[in-house]
Amino acid sequence: MKTAEENIQDLEKKISTCSFCRLSESRVQAVPPEGDPKARIVIIGQAPGREENQRGKMFLGPSGEVLNQLCKRIGLNREAFYMTNLLKCFLPNCRKPRQDEIDTCSVYLDQEIEMVGPEVLVPLGYHPTKHFLKKYGLEIPDRYSFPELFGRVLIAGKYKILPLRHPATVVHQSANFEKLEKNYRKLLIVSQTCKWHQVCPVKYFYDRGKLSKYWIDRYCKGDWESCERYRMEENNIPHPDNMLPDGTIDHNLE
Ligand code: URA
């Protein structure tokens, strides 16, 4: 049986010669994924930019520079993740992706996710995020409220989805670096389990079959920073055992 690494290498070969859509006619080269094929976290960009199209590697251009700076500031190692794009080929004149292109190319993405077997999917920006919301039957907010999703952990079956702003938003100045840094810190949060988990009533009730795994995935092993119990614990504010991470009281818990 082939290893995850070998499977990804086979897929990379297919991607490099792919001619399933019009983008293969205008690209210089398809850009393969990079990083750890056994990573817990998969980061999904939109499509290679001009420089990536020329040089054949992900996130080398201006967005890549922002991404590298973000990783450095937060203390993250880019190589610790598996990184790929929703579309493997450059979009002429950096235009928006078309639905038929996404439908065709995301077959590769599905295979990659299956091979890597991550816990967390991190789509960057609008199109990759919308793709996953649609794929997992989650509500797609309108364009106006869409940015509220960035930095929030969503649960989609066996995956956590953590949409983040695309680094290009800094390049195009629709967001500033500090805003993005706050967003990307969530990558650190989902990489760790809440420090109170072992002694938390949420774990106690879950272990006894009284609470759904949703609470563990969404908060204890997801975004514990946004857990109301965590916040109160950290601030020495008393709180009842039957208070859920979102602050509501569950009277069935004893
Ligand atoms: N932007 C992306 O989304 N992906 C890349 O690889 C480069 C720029």
Separation CA 144–CA 141 (nearest Å): 8
Q: Which of 59, 91, 109, 122 to mutate to test the pocket of ligand 1 (most atoms within 8 A of CB)?
A: 59
Q: Is the pLDDT of residue 1 over 90?
A: no
Q: What is the pLDDT of residue 200?
A: 98
User: Residues 230-253: pLDDT tens digits?
Assistant: 999 999 999 999 999 999 999 999
Percent of the chain with pLDDT over 70: 100
Say if ligand 1 is within 6 A of residue 59 CB.
yes
Asked whether 150 and 164 are in contact (CB, 8 A), the reply is yes
In the reported structure, the alpha carbon of residue 137 is separated from the centroid of ligand 1 by a whole-number distance in angstroms of 25
The pLDDT score that the predictor gives to residue 112 is 97
Instruction: State whether the beta carbon of 47 lies less than 6 angstroms from ligand 1.
Output: yes
Mean pLDDT of the chain: 96
List pLDDT tens digits, range 16-69. 999 999 999 999 999 999 999 999 999 999 999 999 999 999 999 999 999 999
CB of 85 shorter than 6 A to ligand 1:
yes
In whole angstroms, what is the distance from residue 101 CA to residue 140 CA?
20
Res 175: pLDDT: 80
pLDDT at 184: 96
123, 161 Cβ separation under 8 angstroms: yes
Dihedral class, residue 164 (left if φ above 0, else alpha if ψ from -120 to 50, else beta) = beta
pLDDT at residue number 209: 97
What is the pLDDT at residue 222? 97
pLDDT band at 87 (very low <50, low <70, confident <90, very high): very high
Distance, CA of 234 to CA of 232 (rounded, Å):
5
The type of residue at 3 is: T
* Cα three-residue angle 201-208-230, rounded to 5 degrees: 20
The rounded Å distance from CA 167 to ligand 1 centre is: 9
Choice from 28, 63, 95, 166 to test ligand 1 binding pocket (greatest atom count within 8 A of CB): 63
Ligand 1: nearest atom to the Cα of 58: 6
pLDDT at position 254: 82
Cβ atoms 226, 219 nearer than 8 A = yes
Residue 174 has pLDDT above 90, yes or no: no
User: What pLDDT digit, counting tens, does each position of 196-231 carry?
Assistant: 999 999 999 999 999 999 999 999 999 999 999 999
Q: Is-contact 97 86, C-beta < 8 A? A: yes
User: Mean of the pLDDT values across residues 130-154?
Assistant: 97
Query: Would you state the pLDDT for residue 251?
Result: 96
Tell me the pLDDT tens digit for each residue of 92-140: 999 999 999 999 999 999 999 999 999 999 999 999 999 999 999 999 9
Q: How far apart are CA 228 and CA 245, in angstroms?
A: 5
Find tokens 């816990």 and name the residue.
119
SS (H, E, C) 96-110: CCCHHHHHHHHHHHH
